Amino acid sequence: MLAPLFHPRRVPSPTLRESFPVHKEISMLKANRVLSCVFVAGVFSGVSGNAAAEYVYAGFSLGQAEVKDFCEGLGSGCDDTSTTGRLYGGGFLDEQLAFEGGYRYIDDVSASASIPGMSASIDASYHMFDGSLLVFTPRFGMFQLFAKAGVQFWQQDVSASLTGFGSASDSERGISFRTGVGFKADITRSLGLRLEWDYLRNIGDNIGDVENFESDIHVFSAGPEYRF
């Protein structure tokens, strides 16, 4: 079943981007770097500004990410789920409104196939910096629900290998929309627990005829939150 995974037109070249002029690629990389710096600065400036309003918080979460379109048409040798972790910090404007910035890493999702004497594999991982506005419901005792929406700067790292042809890798960057909902429980005055679902839209970029790399990502996660 090697053919569905690596059609002759779908085998990445050593650069994966030889069809693009070099000067265009360099310009895109410079633009992405500038844009990422501006975006990250804006996230942390917003968090710092909100800190003076009510209180600030920080936390981390672990969970599972599903890269929805990664395994489309690739058969049973593909796994579109992976472990993910996120670090975040934020500040409350009031009891129901907060701004939050964070960094997320999604470990490799992978596809592989083999026949006697030949094997092939594709892996993709993700780095993300995000900023979101969170809206909370009134408290129900120690519990609160919330919804969030924002944007994220992402980097997708793809690597591929094929016996007899070697390996290749490529990185893509972009900005996209994110949203989600969650549940928070206050264990003590300064410690809470968050359970949440994140919907990350249009992450990644397709490579040539391979249309599996641009996908929505669903994340289910949980972790502690500390208030200061």
**pLDDT over 90 percentage in the chain:** 57
Confidence of residue 45 (pLDDT cuts 50, 70, 90): low
Q: What is the pLDDT of residues 53-106, one digit of tens each?
A: 578 999 999 999 999 989 887 777 899 999 999 999 999 988 899 999 999 999
Look at residue 74 in the predicted model and tell me its pLDDT. Answer: 76
**pLDDT over 70 percentage in the chain:** 75
More confident residue, 5 or 167: 167
Residue 149 has pLDDT above 80, yes or no: yes
pTM reported for the whole predicted model: 0.76
Look at residue 52 in the predicted model and tell me its pLDDT. Answer: 53
Look at residue 24 in the predicted model and tell me its pLDDT. Answer: 36
Residue 120 has pLDDT above 80, yes or no: yes
Look at residue 64 in the predicted model and tell me its pLDDT. Answer: 98
Phi then psi dihedrals of residue 127, to 5 deg: -120, 140
| Domain membership of residue 81 as a residue range | 2-227
CATH of the domain at 69: 2.40.160.20
Q: What is the DSSP string of the chain?
A: -HHHHS-GGGSPPSSS-TTS-HHHHHHHHHHHHHHHHHHHHHHHHHHHHHHTTS-EEEEEEEEEEEETTTTTT-GGGEE-EEEEEEEEEEEESSSSEEEEEEEEEEEEEEEEEEETTEEEEEEEEEEEEEEEEEEEPPPBTTEEEEEEEEEEEEEEEEEEEETTTEEEEEEEEEEEEEEEEEEEEESSSSEEEEEEEEEEEEES--BTTB-SSSEEEEEEEEEEEEE-
Q: Over the chain, what is the mean pLDDT?
A: 81
| Count of domains forming the chain | 1
More confident residue, 35 or 188: 188
Bridging pattern class, strands 97-115 and 118-136: antiparallel
Look at residue 47 in the predicted model and tell me its pLDDT. Answer: 47
Residue 31 has pLDDT above 70, yes or no: no
For the segment 45-52, the average pLDDT, to the nearest whole number, is 48
